[in-house]
Structure 1
Amino acid sequence: MSTRLDHAVGLLERSLVGTRSVLGRVGPGDLGRPTPCAAWDLAALLDHMDDSLGAYLEASHGALRLLPAHRAAAPTYDDPAARLRARACTLLGVWSAAAEQGLDDVELAGPGGQRVGLPAELLVSTAALEVAVHGWDVARSLGEPSDRDGATGALPPDLAAALLPVARCTVACGRAEGHFADVGAARPGAGPVETLLALVGRA
């Protein structure tokens, strides 16, 4: 068993709990709602989340192809939020199994044939970060209230605090590749949720 990967899988599980809950509140009439990701409505955000979960599922086998364009489309369902909830359960299961099998590294294969190894626990921790932040996006799209620090059921303070080291390690690289907006401004003495949201470019 990989202890470090098992710890990352535990973090992923905590992220999935809140995000699956908020996805359960998405109805067909909500898909046109705006989201904190300015270029996307809720339907586009769910499509992006599905694409990301597909990549993380592929990586659980020890390799991930980094494609220049969109991945092959998943089968179409009438309820994209339900599909995501089901995929989230699958994601947790396959990575739990990978941890038990001692998976240490995931081979990333670029479109030009270049290959590089990435620690599996870093990839899964990044998945936990993405799941939690997009869960927060969905909650805000649905009008879920947040506290003064920005916390919602999908992103409570203890989870945000656990994800902060992951964000500090990964977001700068992702921003250079256009995956994150510019760092936002957090208030002096801001709590972990507001600090994390600022790091990933959320207001």
Structure 2
Amino acid sequence: MTTTLPASVELLGRALDYTRARLAGVRGGLLDRPTPCAGWRLGDLLVHMEDSLDAFTEAAGGEVAVHLTHTTEGRIAAIEEKACALLGAWSRPGPGDVLVGGLDLASPLLVATAALEVTIHGWDVGRATEPAPIPAELAAALLPVAHLTITPADRGVRFAPALAVPSAAADEVRLLAFLGRG
């Protein structure tokens, strides 16, 4: 797990690079394709991704409020613009802690969590369009973040139950299985 804000920002940059490449495969006619998340279509995932980028960028100011978007027009361009804004916002000096729904989170953990979310949703986009593995080094860096931030209370709500995999499995396989994706 990254312990400094610069290390977390670097991890976020790698996550954004991976996801940006997955987004390049999205075309308008694909928005109804299913994703690995039960009941979610690609268009739904893109809306969620845009909202998440907004929230993580807003966190650089010290507090997060929830904003919902309900359209898909221009979604990819908006996501790419917001991804750049997110990385830029956290590349500057930021708050030590961030209030998220009344919860006080240390900035390095919050940014590492953003990297996890960005990467996994990029993988989800890829599964709906052009699958590509998560780079081994990125998966290895994100695995401890996932174990630190995803609790049993998240299962069935934000994540499916974890899947069993051999302990010798590659980090990508272990990460995806922990997040309920196979």
1:164 aligns with 2:156: no
* CA distance 1:118–1:184, change in 2 (3 Å): same
1:81 CA drift (Å) = 1.6
| 1:106 matched residue in structure 2 | 98
1:189 aligns with 2:176: no
Of 57, 73, 79, the residue aligned with 2:69 is 73
Say how many residue pairs are matched.
180
1:180 CA drift (Å) = 1.0
CA distance in 2 between counterparts of 1:200 and 1:182 reads 7
| 2:54 matched residue in structure 1 | 54
| Aligned residue type for 1:107 | L
| 1:31 matched residue in structure 2 | 31
1:73 CA drift (Å) = 2.5
Matched-pair identity in %? 45
Cα RMSD after superposing both structures: 1.9
> Which one has the largest radius of gyration?
1
Which stretches in structure 2 are left out of the alignment for 5+ residues?
none
> Runs of at least 4 residues of structure 1 off by over 2 A?
76-79
Listed one character per residue, the Cα deviations across residues 38-59 of structure 1 (whole Å, up to 9, x for unaligned) are 2101000111111111111111
Of 117, 136, 140, the residue aligned with 1:130 is 117
CA distance in 1 between counterparts of 2:72 and 2:124 reads 22
Contact 1:103 1:120 in 2 (8 A): yes
Q: Secondary structure of the residue that 2:14 maps to in structure 1?
A: helix
TM-score, scaled relative to structure 1: 0.82
1:82 CA drift (Å) = 1.9
| 2:7 matched residue in structure 1 | 7
CA distance in 1 between counterparts of 2:152 and 2:84 reads 28
Q: Secondary structure of the residue that 2:69 maps to in structure 1?
A: coil
Contact 1:174 1:180 in 2 (8 A): no
CA distance in 1 between counterparts of 2:98 and 2:156 reads 20
TM-score, scaled relative to structure 2: 0.91
1:94 CA drift (Å) = 0.5
Contact 1:23 1:82 in 2 (8 A): no
Contact 1:23 1:138 in 2 (8 A): yes
| Aligned residue type for 2:52 | S
Deviates more, 1:190-199 or 1:168-177: 168-177
